Amino acid sequence: MVRDRIGAVLGLVGVAGNVAGVAFLFDVPAAYRPAQLEAWLSQSAQHPGAAAASAAAFVVGLAALGGWARSLGSGAGPGLRASAGAMAAGAFMNAAGCVAPLVLLVHVLPACTEPEACAPVARALLGSTLALDATFDLLFGLGLAGAGAALVSRGSRALGALGLAAGLATLPVSGQVLSERAASLLVVAAPLWLAFVVAASVRMWRAAPAGSPR
């Protein structure tokens, strides 16, 4: 891993954005629950500021996470590069998906006499967000596992093991589009992949510049 301080900063911004996105959802506990889309709509209507702040934080955090993943794979071997590409694709897709709750809050809800009148459109928008979040868990999980394996093979055993653990924990969460139980696994997976991003970002900041003697 070579020095990439822009990539390192993007990783930390990605972590901060995702943590903030979750924190803003304190009053919207039904968010990202497949069986609770109507409750997600109702709670978002009751707390529009928090719901909008959460969506915006996720967009920024996930876009930064995608940039971090691209930096992680830059100049790396084919295994790590492919894994980082999967992580970047998942993060950018999820960032796009997190725009849908903003569309609901800014453009759809104001046109409805009450939240329930918006239910069909809301289900489509929030369901799309949930599906793209599940896609993120699939691609990011695969990428984490692959990156972890690649790092272990290069001698970075601790960081690689963390990546493998985070990837294996994140993959089942991709079932959240259909399963409440899968969604609940995020409480285990998220701290692991956030820790990996922080640790890898610190490594990227401290690493020797490209082309320097090792």
Does residue 101 fall inside a structural domain? yes
Distances (CA, A) of 180 to 47, 50, 166, 172, 197: 23, 23, 20, 11, 26
Computed from CA positions of residues 56, 59, 62, 68, in that sequence, does the dihedral angle turn out positive or negative?
negative
User: How much is the average pLDDT of 60-71?
Assistant: 97
9 domain-assigned: yes
For residue 153, being part of any structural domain is answered with yes
**Residue 213 placed within a domain:** no
Structural domain boundaries, residue 168:
5-206
Over the stretch 94-141, which tens digit does the pLDDT of each residue have?
999 999 999 999 999 999 888 889 899 999 999 999 999 999 999 999
Query: Is residue 113 included in any domain, yes or no?
Result: yes
Q: Would residue 21 count as lying in a domain? A: yes
With a pLDDT cut of 70, the percent of the chain lying above it is 98
Q: How many domains does the chain have?
A: 1
Per-residue pLDDT at 214 exceeds 50: no
Does the residue 212 lie in any domain? no
Query: Given a cut of 90, is residue 2 above it in pLDDT?
Result: no
* Residue 211, in any domain of the structure: no
- When the pLDDT of each residue in the chain is averaged and rounded to a whole number, the result is 94
Q: In the numeric block, which tokens belong to residue 18?
A: 């995702």
